[in-house]
Structure 1
Amino acid sequence: MAEAKTVPGDGDVAAFIDRVEDPVRREDARSLCRLMAGISGQPATLWGPSIIGFGQYRYRYDSGREGDTFRIGFSPRKSELVLYLTGATDDAGFLARLGKHRTGKSCLYVKRLGDVDAAVLDRLIRRALDRVDSAYPS
């Protein structure tokens, strides 16, 4: 079985954020870092070369594949912020109140935090963390 590429490392999260080229995305990354750390009660950890994760859990699929991943996280990509929020992107009614965004399987894509409702985003992050905590208690 292939080794996971996204594993926790000892990279400097603040230095990583400082290297984000776009000044708005850099400030948004700092804000997300504070928000997710506050919600999760966990420090930011660099996972792989470009994902900032909070907390950790071990998963195991019915196929037998297992591994470790972060409970919630984000990545300040070049064109947008990617928030990794397991199970929080499946409520279309709730997402309709968020503002300008798009979704993937368990990802929320946002150009800038100013485009979304902060209270709705906070709730989505909390919902994702609750779902992970429920499925994978510590």
Structure 2
Amino acid sequence: MARDTPTTWTEADPRAFVAAVTRPGRRRDAEALLALMERATGQPPRMFGASIVGFGEYRYAYASGRTGHAAAAGFSPRAAASVVYLSDGVGAHTDALARLGPHTSGVGCLYLKDLTQVDLDVLEEVVRASYTALTAGTYGLRAREGGDATSAPR
């Protein structure tokens, strides 16, 4: 039997959340990410949980039977770095990320310490491609299984 993970959208104001970021550099980056992701997705920002600014929504279904909804694009201004969530996996964006500038990454996360040091056009390209892959239908891969986003089952 499929287990559906509940969506955790909140009524909190994402612009107020960003305005309340205490570190000036991180707040500047969060304001830039807010505008960039709105352009890339065409969606308004919403709070996903307590600390993720999300844009749009995608449905996922895994072979295990787990299903749910999540933000199709999102970021969080963390203390150490701004985190950009790429739920289709960073491996799906290897070529673009090689052109991005200074960053580190996890399986589905891109960590950016200073947005003034990266190519924002490339970042917008990555966010748009990830959003497009995730919202094309029901997404069936976990980020660690990603690779080429165009090959993901829909």
Q: How high is the TM-score relative to the length of structure 1?
A: 0.89
**Pick aligned residue for 1:126 from 115, 121, 128:** 128
Q: Deviations over 1:9-36 (max 9, x none)?
A: 0001111111211111101111111111
Q: Within 5 A, what are the aligned runs for 1:1-138? A: 7-87=8-88, 89-90=90-91, 91-136=93-138
2-side partners of 1:83 and 1:52: how far apart? 10
Number of residue-to-residue matches in the alignment:
136
Residue identity opposite 1:67 in structure 2: G
Name the TM-score, length of structure 2 as normaliser: 0.80
Q: Which moved further from structure 2: 71-80 or 13-22?
A: 13-22
Q: Distance in 1 between matches of 2:95 and 2:42?
A: 28
- Unaligned stretches of 5+ residues in structure 1: none
Q: 1:74·1:81 contact (CA, 8 Å) conserved in 2?
A: yes
Change (3 A) 1:28 1:106: same
How far residue 82 of structure 1 moved from its aligned partner, in angstroms, is 0.3
1:130 Cα shift? 1.7
Residue 113 of structure 1: how far off its partner (Å):
0.6
Distance 1:128 1:121 in 2: 11
Report the AA paired with residue 80 of structure 2.
S
* SS in structure 2 of the partner of residue 56 of structure 1: strand
Q: Which runs of 4+ in 1 moved over 3 A?
A: 1-4
What is the distance in 1 between the residues matched to 2:134 and 2:5? 23
Q: Once the 2 structures are TM-superposed, how far is the Cα of residue 2 of structure 1 from its aligned partner?
A: 9.6
**Higher RCO structure (Cα 8 Å, ≥6 apart):** 2
Instruction: Tell me if structure 1 keeps the 8 A contact 2:5–2:67.
Output: no
Q: Secondary structure at the match of 2:90?
A: coil
Aligned residue type for 1:120: V
8 Å CA contact 2:61, 2:67 repeated in 1: yes
